[in-house]
Amino acid sequence: MNILEKPLSSEWIYNGRIIRLRRDTALLPNGATATREVIEHNGGVCVAALTAQNELLFVKQFRYPYMEIVTEIPAGKRDSTKEDPLACGMRELREETGATADRWLPLGKLYPSPGYCGEVIWMYAATGLHFGEQQLDEDEFLNVEKIPLEQAVNMILSGEIIDAKTQAAVLKVKLLCDRGEL
Amino acid sequence: MNILEKPLSSEWIYNGRIIRLRRDTALLPNGATATREVIEHNGGVCVAALTAQNELLFVKQFRYPYMEIVTEIPAGKRDSTKEDPLACGMRELREETGATADRWLPLGKLYPSPGYCGEVIWMYAATGLHFGEQQLDEDEFLNVEKIPLEQAVNMILSGEIIDAKTQAAVLKVKLLCDRGEL
């Protein structure tokens, strides 16, 4: 079955600090037209940083849309749609946790909510960690925590860790460790 | 460290078909104020439906924000913020794949992109499947596929399956099966 859609026209709704919103009219496979709301975003990077003691670094951060403190692996936005994801991951890990890493392994990409959002999140595992000073942005407030990998996996299975990129990247690290590939 | 933020004021930017966008001014822990862009959404549900032959049901769907066909587990939006997630999951599985299930296991929640988006995705595993007719919405076009669980896990590890909820739910199903809990 043909399932492709074609853009017919675009209307810009909002051009913000983090997101841009447009509303398109699209041609559907059956010849009808439909409205498609699209969030644009520069894309982000997250890092599952594993210590020699098999602990992962986490940040606890107030997340305004949920009015909750959310436990996540270190992550951040790209400065532009052109920034190299690995360079962004290295910067965010250093700024949020003070850590640098000797080894970086790509864990693939993540589409957070593909129905209406075009954000891409690149995931990395980082090992061979060295610790320095946190360098937080002026409007960034977070606490860093180390959690043993097995405990983090259990916190994901029990529903205690809810963030999408954290669930995906940590479970990938767990399976790669089990297979001897990390 | 205090990391809480307080809403000071809200401005509605867009009230759309699938998403709503507002821009708030928030009080930061250091006494400064900042702008917070927030996407609101009714929330969604996804279902990792496992056959007696250990295959998972997938849908391949054109995702407009990426202009790509994306491989995902069956999923859909809640009709309202009040709809019971399990009822929504049952409906979406039946509509997209024609399947009903004897057993439903909650796999926890997912926050797809907590920096700016308030969407919650509830995840379920469904087993004891019975197959009937697909009942797609008028503007919904997708192809259904069965993929063995182990192959799906490998497709996630290799970066071939990119959707966030699919990565999280399928890797949870894999670990629960390994532990004899599913």
Instruction: Note the pLDDT of residue A34.
Output: 95
User: CA A152 from chain center: how many Å?
Assistant: 17
Q: Which of residues 100-119 of B touch A (CB under 8 A)?
A: 106, 108-119
User: CA B145 from chain center: how many Å?
Assistant: 18
Give the tokens for residue B94.
């039946």
Identify the band that residue B118 occupies on the pLDDT scale cut at 50, 70 and 90.
very high
Instruction: Note the pLDDT of residue B138.
Output: 79
Q: Residue A149: which H helix or E strand, with range?
A: helix A149-157
Which residues on chain A are in Cβ contact (under 8 Å) with B175? 153, 157, 171, 174
Which residues on chain A are in Cβ contact (under 8 Å) with B69? 3-4
Instruction: Using alpha carbons, select from B29, B13, B31, B11 the residue that is nearest to residue B21.
Output: B13
Q: Percentage of chain A surpassing pLDDT 90?
A: 93
Instruction: Tell me the pLDDT tens digit for each residue of A63-108.
Output: 999 999 999 999 999 999 999 999 999 999 999 999 999 999 999 9
Q: What is the CA radius of gyration of chain B?
A: 19
CA dihedral B34, A72, A59, A154 (to 10 degrees): 150
Instruction: Note the pLDDT of residue B136.
Output: 87
- Cβ neighbour number for residue B157 with a 10 Å cutoff: 19
Task: Report chain A's mean pLDDT, rounded to a whole number.
Answer: 96
Q: Which residue has the tokens 């980082």?
A: A126
Give the tokens for residue A173.
């690290």
Q: Percentage of chain B surpassing pLDDT 70?
A: 100
Residue B165 · residue B124 · CB < 8 Å: no
Q: How far apart are CA A169 and CA A173, in angstroms?
A: 6
Alpha carbon distances (Å) from A64 to A84, A166, B110: 27, 18, 16
Q: Do A110 and B61 touch (CB under 8 A)?
A: no
Using DSSP, state whether A114 is helix, strand or coil.
Answer: coil
Which residues on chain B are in Cβ contact (under 8 Å) with A167? 110, 167-168, 171-172
Alpha carbon distances (Å) from B113 to A126, A154, A175, A179, B89: 21, 22, 23, 29, 21
Residue A157 · residue B106 · CB < 8 Å: no
| Sheet of A142-148, strands arranged across | A68-72, A55-63, A142-148
Instruction: Note the pLDDT of residue B139.
Output: 78
Instruction: Note the pLDDT of residue A139.
Output: 78
Instruction: Tell me the pLDDT tens digit for each residue of A29-39.
Output: 999 999 999 99
Please name the residue ranges forming H helices in chain B: 85-97, 149-157, 164-178
pLDDT of B1 higher than 80: no
Identify the band that residue B103 occupies on the pLDDT scale cut at 50, 70 and 90.
very high
First-to-last alpha carbon distance for chain B, in angstroms, is: 40
Using DSSP, state whether A170 is helix, strand or coil.
Answer: helix
pLDDT of B102 higher than 80: yes
Identify the band that residue A136 occupies on the pLDDT scale cut at 50, 70 and 90.
confident
Average pLDDT over residues A151-177: 98
Residue A95 · residue A137 · CB < 8 Å: yes
Q: Which residue has the tokens 């909820």?
A: B165
* DSSP symbol at B117: B
* DSSP symbol at B83: S
Q: Residue A139: which H helix or E strand, with range?
A: none
Instruction: Note the pLDDT of residue B2.
Output: 84
Alpha carbon distances (Å) from A132 to A100, A129, B96, B181: 8, 10, 50, 41
Interface test mutation site (partner A, options B72, B171, B177, B182, max chain A beta carbons within 10 A): B171
| Sheet of A33-41, strands arranged across | A6-15, A19-27, A33-41
pLDDT of A1 higher than 80: no
Instruction: Kindly state whether B22 is in contact with chain A, defined as any CB-CB distance less than 8 angstroms.
Output: no
Identify the band that residue A52 occupies on the pLDDT scale cut at 50, 70 and 90.
very high
Which comes out higher in pLDDT, residue A57 or B142?
A57
Instruction: Tell me the pLDDT tens digit for each residue of B56-98.
Output: 999 999 999 999 999 999 999 999 999 999 999 999 999 999 9
Q: Do A3 and B141 touch (CB under 8 A)?
A: yes
Q: How far apart are CA B139 and CA B135, in angstroms?
A: 12
- Beta carbon pairs, A and B, within 8 Å: 217
Whether this model's ipTM surpasses 0.90 comes out as: yes
Instruction: Kindly state whether B182 is in contact with chain A, defined as any CB-CB distance less than 8 angstroms.
Output: no
Chain B nearest CA to A13, separation (Å): 8
Q: What is the CA radius of gyration of chain A?
A: 19
Alpha carbon distances (Å) from A18 to A60, A162, B23, B37, B108: 20, 22, 11, 7, 28
**Given CA atoms A163, A101, A83, A15 in this order, what sign does their dihedral have?**
positive
Average pLDDT over residues B152-179: 98
pLDDT of B5 higher than 80: yes
